[in-house]
Structure 1
Amino acid sequence: MAHFDRLRERATDVLAPRQLSPSASCGTVGAALETDQGEVFVGVCVDTASSLGFCAEHAAAAAMLTRGQNVVVRMVAVGADHKVLAPCGRCREFISQLSPRNLDAQVLVNQAEIVRLGDLMPYRWPVD
């Protein structure tokens, strides 16, 4: 659980809820992803009135991809109240498609429970 304490702290550190415009806000959810190379990438959510925003996990994954990495070993997201949030279905699917190895990523889904990403997606649609 010590690995997740560090990740959770990093995700909490980027929380910065703010209104960007009348129709867009960001920073109410922070996420941290640790890669197989030991680097940690963080991101925040962006919410828009037209649903064009994205989740904090997507932002963290984009930062990871920018650095040429795509294998996640651990991930966590936290809300503005600093409580752990399980990733939504879109995030689960997105991360799983970046590498088949990501199905083995450990995901903190609440304050004390760790689940394999693949176990959060028992009925995946065919990818072959």
Structure 2
Amino acid sequence: MPITDEELIAAAAQALNPRQLADGSWVADVGAALEAVDGQIFTGASIGGYLAVCAEQSAFTQLVSTTSPRIRRVVAVWRDPADGVLHVLPPCGRCREFMRVLDQANLDAQVILGPDHTRSLAELLPLPGWHAEAVERSRG
């Protein structure tokens, strides 16, 4: 039986383990969960600093080592340390492109943007794929 969006958000929250490194960057302050097309759930946490690894990418490393890189849903979360409120975060542009490149079928995956708010990855990626317009005419 498939899990709900709320349960996937809770799985992402379980990946949170925030702590600050000596250089001031954060580790595990963003958590992600994704559902593979076969129903398996994978989670990951962010690694900050100048060599950043996003939480979504961390979850994808588990996914691709276990099954296909195709996903059904994905969500990332962050808990505000000031008030403890959990927030759903949209994937950054790099993660959106990362998901598309791993499998074009991921354009149909649902990205959870809030408790009652989802969009397909394609809707969050304008002009997915190669787009090039000629600036000059053919010189032939």
Counterpart in the other structure of 1:87: 91
2:73 & 2:26 partners in 1: Cα distance?
Answer: 27
CA deviation map 1:85-126 (0-9, x unaligned): 011100000011111110000011133211000111122241
CA deviation map 1:45-79 (0-9, x unaligned): 0001xx21111000001110111321110010001
RCO higher in structure (CA 8 A, sep ≥6): 1
Counterpart in the other structure of 1:108: 112
Query: Structure 2: which amino acid aligns with 1:105?
Result: A
Counterpart in the other structure of 1:121: 125
Question: Is the 2:110–2:120 contact (alpha carbons within 8 Å) kept by the matching residues of 1?
Answer: yes
Q: SS state of the match for residue 76, structure 1?
A: strand
Map residues 26-41 of structure 1 onto 2, 5 A cutoff.
26-41=27-42
Q: SS state of the match for residue 109, structure 1?
A: strand
Counterpart in the other structure of 1:64: 63
Query: Structure 2: which amino acid aligns with 1:26?
Result: V
Q: Give the structure with higher Rg (CA).
A: 2
Q: SS state of the match for residue 91, structure 1?
A: helix
Gaps of 5+ in 2: 81-85, 132-140
Question: Is the 2:6–2:115 contact (alpha carbons within 8 Å) kept by the matching residues of 1?
Answer: no
Counterpart in the other structure of 1:99: 103
Q: Percent identity?
A: 37
Gaps of 5+ in 1: none
Query: Structure 2: which amino acid aligns with 1:10?
Result: A
Question: Are positions 1:78 and 2:82 aligned together?
Answer: no
1:73 & 1:21 partners in 2: Cα distance?
Answer: 37
Counterpart in the other structure of 1:16: 17
The TM-score, its normalising length taken from structure 1, stands at 0.89
Q: SS state of the match for residue 44, structure 2?
A: strand
1:22 & 1:101 partners in 2: Cα distance?
Answer: 39
Count, aligned residues: 124
The TM-score, its normalising length taken from structure 2, stands at 0.82
